[in-house]
Chain A
Amino acid sequence: MGTIPRQMLINRVTITFAVILALIVGWNAYVAANNDGVLTGQVVDSGGRAVGGAKVTITARTVAHDLEIGSIVSGDDGVFRFEKHGQYNLVLTAEKDGVGKSAPRHIRLYFRNQDFALETPLVLSTGSTNAQGS
């Protein structure tokens, strides 16, 4: 049985496709390890104190429309946690009677259901209207 010539195994075509295959496998492995849809963050007031009992709303944003898909109440330490959000482009808002409302926080993810932790908390204040990107 003859052996395959080295030039047929290692050339620019096979190397290019091998690199592409490796990138695809690597990316899918990364996605599989980070697609639990866990979205965490914290709600604070304008003085930086944690706000418990704030209603945090998640809204899916597509090129066609915005659609509210769920809400959750923050814990005593102001921390909230969504699971299996199932989105790649979303907007978070938080509000609590007597404390105020946060500016909408637009979050874009690299894949659907990506795990994500907000780096800066949602700040409740009276009269917040400006959108913030993330």
Chain B
Amino acid sequence: MRSRNADWPVHLILIPVSILMLVPFYWVLKTSITGENIFAYPPSILPSDPHLFNYVEAWYSIPFATYFINSILVVFLAIVANILIDAAAGYALTFHFRGKRLIMLIYLSCMMIPFQATIIPAYLITVNLGLVNTLLGIALPHFSHIILIFIFKASFDALPRSLPEAARMDGVPEWRILLQVMLPLARPAIATSVVLTFIWSWNDFLWPLIVVRDDDVSTLPLGLARFLSYFEDTTAALYAFVVMALVPGILVFFLAQRQFIEGLTAGARKG
């Protein structure tokens, strides 16, 4: 068994790399609380005379609360839909049926098509559904992600087959087996789904830009772009806006990080 001390060379490399990766975040945070010129030379490492007035400026300069609530609602819709749809699809793929390999192949193929390539058909579908300029329309493309279907499948595959079989013998319908037997045991997969869906839909810019017409259904990334176009010389307030937009995602990740990592590695550890 390896001693913990044997890991120090790895840590020696990882710690500076981690610090290096955190520098941009620190710089954004520092500028947001000081307003110091980011191009100043020599750069100051520690913030001088920090204050929160740039956050006040960002809050009042644009309808931040509206954008924030819209983003929360879009993320909520996407997360609920992902857990239900992806878990159902992942559960179906744990069965052996004719054409399963073909479906898996189609899923894998679809993963290789970038969203930008399907944006016109996605837009036409949204128009036909009458969902343009609605929060549901913004959330719609995030309702299912193929990678999450595979994560749910891997998580369900790792559970003993005897569990759903026992429930089936007791006459429990499949949807109840999924919701009441399989899903409660797949918490890492749910956490992974929540974190990834949150980050993808929270940060999405291109799709809302296409389907949103009015300011009152805009999300934070659109708000950020509008802020930038209205006020060019407001670096500190802009960075304050960025920090406010970043915090929920970081918070969700920290809350679910253990399960998130377990969920991502569930398939790898199986067997």
Contacts and interface: CB of A to CB of B under 8 A. Distances in A.
A13 interface: yes
Best-buried of A63, A88, A108, A112 by chain B (most CB within 10 Å): A63
Interface in B49-67: 51-53, 56-57, 60-61
Contacts of B27: none
B265 interface: no
A112 B234 CA distance: 19
A109 interface: yes
Contact of A110 (B52, B233, B251): B52
B222 interface: no
Contacts of B237: 63
B56 A89 contact: yes
A112 B61 CA distance: 12
Contacts of B251: 16
Given A12-B255, A13-B255, A16-B251, A88 B56 contact: yes
B175 interface: no
Interface residues of chain A: helix, strand, loop or mixed (majority): loop
A63 B61 CA distance: 8
Nearest to B255: A13
Interface string A87-116: 011000000000000000000111110000
A89 B61 CA distance: 11
Interface in A50-65: 62-64
A5 B251 CA distance: 24
Interface in B249-270: 251, 255
Contacts of B60: 88, 112
A64 B56 contact: no
B230 interface: yes
Given A62-B61, A64-B231, A112-B60, A16 B255 contact: yes
A110 B51 CA distance: 10
Contacts of A62: 61
Q: For the side of the interface on A, what is the size category?
A: 10 to 19
Contacts of A112: 60
A66 to B, nearest CB: 14
Interface string B205-241: 0000000000000000000000000110110010000
A16 B255 CA distance: 9
B255 A64 contact: no
A26 to B, nearest CB: 16
B52 A63 contact: no
A109 B56 contact: yes
A110 B230 CA distance: 22
Contact of A111 (B56, B230, B234, B255): B56
B53 A108 contact: yes
Interface in A32-52: none
B56 A63 contact: no
A108 B61 contact: no
Nearest to A61: B57
Nearest to B51: A108
A103 B51 CA distance: 23
A7 to B, nearest CB: 12
Interface in A1-21: 12-13, 16
17 contacts: A62-B61, A63-B57, A63-B61, A63-B233, A64-B231, A88-B56, A88-B60, A89-B53, A89-B57, A108-B51, A108-B53, A108-B56, A110-B52, A110-B53, A110-B56, A111-B56, A112-B60
